[in-house]
Structure 1
Amino acid sequence: MFHWGTLVIFGCLIHVSSLEEPIHSKCGEDYNILKKLIELEEEVKNLKTNLKEHRSANEKCKNVAFRAQLTKSLGTVTLGQKIVYDSVELNNGKAFHPFHGVFTAPCDGIYLFSITIGNAGKWGVIHLKKNGETIEYAWAGFNTGWDMGGVTTVAKLNTGDDVWVEGRGTIDGANSHDGIGVLKHTGFAGALINAL
């Protein structure tokens, strides 16, 4: 780091405070070298700072993945109602907020999301929302008997973007009539594929 004052480089007197170019031609060439070195030092300093910030962001984004499901029926929900899942079996990175049903991107990246819905005889629709805009949807229950629907997609998110599921119609959670216990059919899952 250079300080205010005067330097003598290669026999040339240079004022660092103003980086005035010396009068003599040989000294002028030396001045240009010094000026370029100072610019390179600043560039290296900025690159180190950016690398440190990038590494810090990547540390936050290691192993980001979640899976949430319903263990019980929500019954009839109105248009735009956010689905809050009562069973969160995986939440690596703590980016999924179980009390609100919202995933918040911890860093810029490409994310994979999956939503499923299972209904018995009554229709229901779920929408995957990114900051309030639908990016995918699935429905179930338009047929008699048990019916399931689902979709998997990818989305580019910026740090702080929110993703959640909204429903309409009947939202069932589990089916225990198959003889092997309660199976969770309505769920929401996601994972970071690649940090940007």
Structure 2
Amino acid sequence: MRVIACTLFILGLLWDNGRAENTISSLRLAAVAWEGELPCRKWDCECAFKRQRGCCCAAPEIQEVEDQIFKRVMDLSKEVSQLSESILEVIGRIRVAFTASMSRRTNCFGPFNWNSPIPYDVITLNHGNGYNPALGIFTAPSSGLYSFSFTVYSRLGKEGERMYYKVQLMNNGEVVASTWEDNREDSEDSSFQTVLLPLQQGDQVYVELMEGRHICGIAEGLNIFSGSLIYSTLE
């Protein structure tokens, strides 16, 4: 509207002088020659008609664009901050922990002709439902750093036997830690291991008994497998 107002005003001047032409060049020449005030209201006719279009004339518009960009950047920064807080809040609510033990057995567990996952079937804690007692396997529900521990207790099945077991912690089929006993001096023994593991969602961790070995005299609460999420990591 401001451009139209200026244009109409200058056209009126041109018609009065009998020099009406239909080009912007003529309008500019007429504006430059005009010695009175150009009634363009808020629009800068001096810049538009009497000077070259440059930094001086464009400064107000550039400033306005800068203000708009700054406001948009601040809005985006606020949105990113709110999103980060939401992500941290969600991560903070992820709770994963389990503890399971082998139920009491009158017979030994093993020996087998293959490595066998130990069935820790008595569950006392299973936050996040990561542990499956039917398989004896923990499946990570989210990526992060986890802590795992297991204890092994065994006694001789009968007099004259030897203490003979080897138990190992597995991560996706790879050995992470192990403990074993092979002697005829002890009638009973126990051992313990704990490790920290970085896991991806879906990774599986379990404890297995090595082939040819056995655990005997199992009392409830003595053979335990447990784990917990220390902190989550973004994928």
Give the TM-score normalised by structure 2: 0.61
In the alignment, the residues of structure 1 paired with residue 84 and residue 216 of structure 2 have an alpha-carbon distance, to the nearest angstrom, of 46
Partner of 1:84, secondary structure, is coil
Structure 2 CA distance for aligned equivalents of residues 124 and 93 of structure 1: 31
Which of residues 160, 167, 177 in structure 1 aligns to 2:209?
167
Aligned ranges 1:1-196 → 2 under 5 Å: 24-61=58-95, 64-71=96-103, 72=105, 73-119=108-154, 120=156, 121-144=162-185, 145-168=187-210, 169-172=212-215, 174-175=217-218, 182-196=219-233
The residue type paired with residue 172 of structure 1 is: I
Question: How many residue pairs align between the two structures?
Answer: 168
Aligned CA RMSD, in angstroms, stands at 2.6
Give the Cα separation in 2 of the matches to 1:174 and 1:89. Answer: 21
Counterpart CA distance in 2 for 1:28 and 1:126 is 73
Distance 2:81 2:179 in 1: 45
Per-residue CA shift, 1:110-156, capped at 9, x if unaligned? 32211122233341211112222222111135344212222112222
What amino acid maps onto 1:87 in structure 2?
V
Deviations along 1:71-117, one digit per CA (max 9) or x if unpaired, are 22322134432222121222233221212212223333332211122
Gaps of at least 5 residues in structure 1 are 1-10, 13-22, 176-181
Q: 1:78 to 1:69 in 2, by over 3 A?
A: farther
Q: Which runs of 4+ in 1 moved over 6 A?
A: none
Assess, with a 3 A threshold, how the Cα gap between structure 1 residues 43 and 54 changes in structure 2: closer, same or farther. Answer: same
Q: What TM-score do the two structures reach when normalised by structure 1?
A: 0.71
Name the structure with the higher helix share: 2
